[in-house]
Structure 1
Amino acid sequence: MATHAPSSSSDKTWIVPAAVLGVTAAVAAVAHAAARYRLLPWLGKYRSRVVGIIPARFASSRFPGKPLVRILGKPMIQRTWERAKLASALDRIVVAENNEKIAECCRGFGADVIMTSEECKNGTERCYETLQKLGETYDIVVNIQGDEPLIEP
């Protein structure tokens, strides 16, 4: 289910969990809903700008360091990022991280990394903070779970 992130302006920011349908399907679903409910009246005229944000964190209580666990020789976060890169609907992919170990690993394989606050309670908050720090306008934000190395692009 798409969720609306709070904003002080009249802009609508939707953060979509990619795990529901896969990245491309999530983007299409939000675009369809936005057009149907006239949330983005210009949608039929222009291509939406879409960013995929992969929130990850090192300090999980159940599995500390999970993004760095190797799967067939590569960290899980790298496998997730590589699958997300295959999604043609995404204009940009960013890893949202609050730990320098994971950020360094991600930069090592070429990912854009935005450092987020330790205060973020969940991935959606991490995505929203990242969107604010990007300083660019996107119509759709896709929340791609960092622990989904086999996500359907």
Structure 2
Amino acid sequence: MPICNPSSSSSSSSSSSTKSWIIHGLAVGAAAAVAIGAHAYFNYRRSGKFRSRVIGIIPARFASSRFEGKPLVHILGKPMIQRTWERAKMATSLDHVVVATDDDKIAECCRGFGADVVMTSESCRNGTERCNEALQKLGKEYDVVVNIQGDEPLIEPEIIDGIVKSLQ
């Protein structure tokens, strides 16, 4: 398995008292979210009178019982995590996209192609916990958080935008 050797880059507080909800079944957005492995969260205090602040978080881990190192596997010359990040960056509804990981190899790879990285603890049991920890570490308020699975290199930016739109 090749180690990350990124090709050219295509682009370069959530307080503990804020109540957020995970969306699994909201109109068309929910079906798309489940189908593509993305989940969206929204801040309960939001109102429709302002443009929501939206972040996409891509959880990625190296250790896996089925396919260790999957985020760094190259697909047509680029690591899978880079392809996922590039597609997420194409979503016009996202104000910020970060990769959340507990692995130094993934973090180094992602920084190499221009991604913002948030280091999380190894104790996160799943991607949702990793997204939550990353959000807390960022220390910024977002109205919508989209959990974009790191192994979705073909994710359609329009689906991300549709999910976000359904929450606004």
TMscore range, shorter length: 0.7 to 0.9
The percentage of counterpart residues that share the same residue type is: 73
TM-score w.r.t. the length of structure 1 is 0.80
Letter in 2 for 1:134: L
Contact 1:16 1:141 in 2 (8 A): no
Q: Give the structure 2 partner of residue 3 of structure 1.
A: none
Q: Give the structure 2 partner of residue 4 of structure 1.
A: none
Confirm or deny that 1:110 pairs with 2:117: no
CA distance in structure 1 between the partners assigned to 2:46 and 2:96 by the alignment: 23
Deviations 1:59-91 (A, max 9, x none): 011000000000000000000000000000100
Q: Give the structure 1 partner of residue 129 of structure 2.
A: 125
TM-score w.r.t. the length of structure 2 is 0.73
CA distance in structure 2 between the partners assigned to 1:16 and 1:73 by the alignment: 35
Contact 1:77 1:149 in 2 (8 A): yes
Q: How many residues align?
A: 136
Contact 2:39 2:147 in 1 (8 A): no
Contact 2:39 2:148 in 1 (8 A): no
Task: Please identify runs of 4+ aligned residues in structure 1 that moved more than 4 A.
Answer: 15-19
Q: 1:13 aligns with which of 20, 25, 39?
A: 20
Confirm or deny that 1:60 pairs with 2:64: yes
Q: 2:148 aligns with which of 144, 147, 153?
A: 144
- Report the aligned-residue RMSD: 2.5
Contact 2:22 2:39 in 1 (8 A): no
Contact 1:15 1:143 in 2 (8 A): no
CA distance in structure 2 between the partners assigned to 1:118 and 1:26 by the alignment: 21
Unaligned stretches of 5+ residues in structure 2:
1-14, 25-31, 158-168
